[in-house]
């Protein structure tokens, strides 16, 4: 089905992404999608990301469920239901090359924001703001397979502890992905080849997730925030240049 180097690159992508997700509760798509774009087309990469990330998120969310902030989680999820259908339309009708460019640029931009140590984003309180953030995330989920940026930036403004941050973000994505997958499947965005590929890659994603969970209490947050964005930026730049040139 694929050659050795394709499988090797895909395995490394989901392993590293799973480890990041295990540490933070988010970020699988930030690593997996740009890396998978190097060996698969955009729609394949996005579908694989949704399938694999959902499976690992379920396990992580159950493990860290005590730290979930339920009212915040509910508002984010309710908002996402508004953005998912519009994002799906973009996914089904957008040019593949342009889609890859958008993914790469968003990945680089979000990583650059994460590098800013003292970033301050005005964010008034209120349930409507949480639902708006969820709507943006839902749109990005079904359009380019990267739901994290609006939610993670929003959570960063809330002064949450590392445990609550990881638990709430992980639970949100656990709720978000099944709806996205149902919408994607209903429009022909999933097939047997994608499902089989995801099934083969899933054990490596779980291995990475378990490594991330093991490392979580051992890695100072400041070092993590410096290292991961640099890796994301390098991956995004490579994917962008490979698409343009």
Q: How far apart are CA 37 and CA 102, in angstroms?
A: 12
Closest CA to 49 of 37, 63, 32: 32
pLDDT surpasses 60 at 118: no
Task: Give the pLDDT of residue 58.
Answer: 93
Q: Which two tokens stand for residue 57?
A: 């998120």
Closest CA to 45 of 14, 83, 84: 14
Strand, coil or helix: 161: coil
Q: Which two tokens stand for residue 96?
A: 């593949």
Task: Give the pLDDT of residue 123.
Answer: 55
DSSP string over 52-80: HHHHHHHHHHHHTGGG--HHHHHHHHHHH
Mean pLDDT of 45-52: 88
Q: In this predicted model, what pLDDT tens digit does every residue of 60-113 receive, in sequence order?
A: 999 999 999 999 999 999 999 999 988 888 877 877 677 778 877 887 887 787
pTM exceeding the 0.85 threshold for the entire prediction:
no
Of residues 149 and 172, more confidence is placed in 172
Domain ranges of the chain: 4-244
The average confidence (pLDDT) of the chain is 84
């Amino acid at each position: 089905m694929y050659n050795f180097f394709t499988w090797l690159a895909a395995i490394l992508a989901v392993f590293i992404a799973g480890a990041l997700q295990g540490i933070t509760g988010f970020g699988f798509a930030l690593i997996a999608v740009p890396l998978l774009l190097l060996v698969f087309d955009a729609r394949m990469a996005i579908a694989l990301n949704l399938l694999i990330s959902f499976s690992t998120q379920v396990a992580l969310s159950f493990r860290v469920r005590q730290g979930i902030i339920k009212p915040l989680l509910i508002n984010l999820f309710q908002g996402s239901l508004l953005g998912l259908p519009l994002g799906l339309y973009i996914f089904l009708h957008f040019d593949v090359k342009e889609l890859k460019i958008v993914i790469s640029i968003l990945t680089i931009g979000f990583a650059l924001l994460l590098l800013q140590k003292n970033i301050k984003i005005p964010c008034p309180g209120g349930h409507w703001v949480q639902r708006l953030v969820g709507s943006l995330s839902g749109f990005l989920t079904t359009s380019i397979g990267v739901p994290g940026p609006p939610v993670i930036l929003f959570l960063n403004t809330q002064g949450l502890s590392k445990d609550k941050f990881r638990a709430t973000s992980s639970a949100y994505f656990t709720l978000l992905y099944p709806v996205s997958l149902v919408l994607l499947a209903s429009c022909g965005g999933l097939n047997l080849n994608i499902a089989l590929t995801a099934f083969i890659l899933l054990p490596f994603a779980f291995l990475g997730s378990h490594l991330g969970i093991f490392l979580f209490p051992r890695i100072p947050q400041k070092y993590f925030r410096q290292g991961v964005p640099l890796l994301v930026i390098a991956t995004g730049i490579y994917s962008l240049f490979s698409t343009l040139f």
